[in-house]
Amino acid sequence: MLKSAKGGLRALIKAMRFATEDSEIREFLKKYDSIPVGDRAYLPWEAIALSANVNITYLIGAIYLAAAQYFGNISKMIAISNHPGVTRSRIKYSRDPSGESDRRSIDIMVGALPSAKGPTFIGKAVFGPSSGKSDDDDDDEPLKVFGSDDDIDELFPPASNMQEKLKAVRQNQLEAPKKG
């Protein structure tokens, strides 16, 4: 299963190196790093995990979460760093007679046209209908508006928060009596 990751086990080692707050990953890496480089290719990870005295089932889950966080951050970095070029191309092609979809997207992006999916946020976040209250939400809490001073982690919590929350769930599942 781990070998199926794009980039193989080497890519997962990179992801694990950014998740050393997890004790199982930390112990596995300590044992892995103590093995001579030439021998690592010949040793199965199961043997390294057993030698490190880590719970293999827990370790696989921790590796999965570490990979999700690591590769997700790489994806965000790629998207963010390429956004100026995409916008530049969109502007260029919007000037063509066939650039209607690019023109519309730019107008929506800068706020000249409303989004088909409703309000979004740039600077301040407004979620829900722009008219304020609807007839069926009389008892709901007031809408929270996010400004530029608000913590970005409140809008987009880091994946490590979920990893911390899932540690207890994984531990409970490991300790649950086996059915059957």
Predicted TM-score of the model (pTM): 0.55
Give the domain ranges of the chain.
2-113
Rounded Cα distance between 175 and 170, Å, is 9
DSSP state of 52: T
Mean pLDDT of 110-135: 61
pLDDT of 27 above 90: yes
The reported pLDDT for the residue numbered 147 is 62
| 1-36 exposure pattern, b = at least 16 Cβ within 10 A, e = fewer | eeeebeeeeebbbebbeebeebebbebbbebbeeee
